[in-house]
Amino acid sequence: MSDGRRTTIDGVSVPCDHLIDGERVGGGELYAVRSPVDGSHLGDIPDGNAAVVDSAVAAARRAFPEWAALGPDGRGDILDRFAQAILDRAQDLVMVDTADNGSVRAAMLHVGTGRSAHNVKFFADLARTLEHPPIEGPVADNSVRYDPSGVAALIVPWNAPLMLGTWKIGPALAAGCAVVVKPPEWAPFSLSLLGEIATEAGLPPGVLNIVHGVGERTGAALVSHPDVDRISFTGSPDTARAIAMAAARNLTPLSFELGGKSPFIVFDDADLELAVRTAAAQFMNAGQVCLAGTRLLVQDTIADRFTDALRDATSKLVVGDPRVEGTNIGPLIHPEHFERVAGFVERALASGAKPLVGGKPSALGGSWFEPTILTGVEQSSEIVQQEVFGPVLTLQTFSTEDEVIELANGTEYGLAATLFTGDEARAERVAAQIVAGTVWINCFYVRDLAAPFGGSRRSGVGREGGIWSFDFFCDVKNVAVRRSSFTS
């Protein structure tokens, strides 16, 4: 039970308040957070106001000079301890994350915490070796510096708070920024616990600050703050527009990773078994994955075989309690989001779509929704054009390469695409023509941290990952020295 400052979630004691300058502080009216798994009361979180945000940004500003002055090696030593501490507390983080947002516990134990630690360790290591080759000009020699930019505001979504939080925190801290993190209001506790882990690992006070609250109040105060130097946001295009307008007043640089409506293309020369197995994996995290290939585009010559095999594979997915071994699909995050997903499906069915599988809420009740595949959909329909963010796929067929490229590019999004074919030349041709930040060929969800990541069109602004993260979180400076200008 919550004691006003801490709460206990599945046996794990978790701080509830803001983390500012190394101290837990209140500030703002409390609101209740409930688990999507069983509706239980997890604890009360303060809805941070402008004064709280001011305090957090000021703490980050004070801590920044010393943190930046440590250099990549000094910061890296501390971040290495932080990464190891994440691994040491993996069980606790998984328990909290599952209760907080309904993620499947086995998947988090297998992948989630390891990836979260890697998000920190990788960028700490990269910062130690980061350098740009010298640029020799006709008059002067140029060298490139990656100088820490200052205070970074990091706004994290609710679908994978621990992994996506560390995806932002790792490179920002490695670059030398001090950060203010706003966890998602529907799933705040894993990042609140992460702040405690960072403090125990030796991160100096004020370098990592956490402010809780809802986007319209806490988030708005953070992104409009004049002392914030960078804003990294993952979420919806509508929220991104509001952030961009607020940031424009201060000319604050932005990095946005937004929604997706990604195509999943299967040609008739593909490894059908692999393609079907991967298509069924698009239901992971109850479909609450921006990268998911939710638009299945299957060549008509294999459509019947693919459809039969996918129906069979989907029928074997276990919808249930994410805390139980063997569960594949847990609940949607919140009753409000459940109603949104259900509304998309209801409208699609009313417009003539046919359920290959699913198409309705699960018999489990609560916020569970059956894995759903809809056929008979038009390219212009809402269900094809808009991000549902639930366990809902559509299936369309195509005849030619040109046709599938037109279908794949036929939305306002451009986050990712997945392509299955046995023809290497075709894979290269199609990948070159698809509008997307990432194209996977005969694989899915391969995220090398050295590679750039981001979206095109409504799916994002900018790229992070690898050196692109440092391009964003640093002030990239050129130093030009005239040859033979020094006598000693």
DSSP string of 300-362, one letter each residue: GGGHHHHHHHHHHHHHTPPBS-TTSTT--B---S-HHHHHHHHHHHHHHHHTT-EEEE--SB-
Class of domain 6-258+455-478: alpha beta
Q: What is the pLDDT of residue 1?
A: 29
Domain with CATH 3.40.309.10 in the chain: 263-441
**Looking at domain 263-441, which CATH architecture does it have?**
3-Layer(aba) Sandwich (3.40)
pLDDT tens for 21-55 read 999 999 889 999 999 999 999 999 999 999 999 99
**Which residue stretches of the chain have pLDDT < 70?**
1-4, 487-488
Strands 254-257 and 295-299: unpaired
Distance, in Å, from the CA atom of 307 to the CA atom of 328, rounded to the nearest integer, reads 20
Q: What is the pLDDT of residue 27?
A: 86
Q: What is the pLDDT of residue 5?
A: 80
Q: What is the pLDDT of residue 488?
A: 63
Q: What is the pLDDT of residue 118?
A: 92
Decide if 464 is catalytic.
no
Considering the entire predicted model, what is its pTM?
0.93
Domain with CATH 3.40.605.10 in the chain: 6-258+455-478
pLDDT tens for 114-145 read 889 999 999 999 999 998 888 888 888 898 89
Structure tokens at 332: 């949607």
Residue tagged active-site, from 185, 196, 257, 387: 257
Categorise residue 326: left if φ over 0, alpha if ψ from -120 to 50, beta otherwise. Answer: left
Decide if 257 is catalytic.
yes
Distance, in Å, from the CA atom of 46 to the CA atom of 44, rounded to the nearest integer, reads 7
Distance, in Å, from the CA atom of 224 to the CA atom of 182, rounded to the nearest integer, reads 14
Residue tagged active-site, from 290, 370, 387, 474: 290
Which H/E stretch holds residue 9? strand 6-9
Which residues touch 243 (CB under 8 Å, ≥6 apart)?
155, 219, 223, 231, 233, 254, 256
Structure tokens at 408: 């794949």
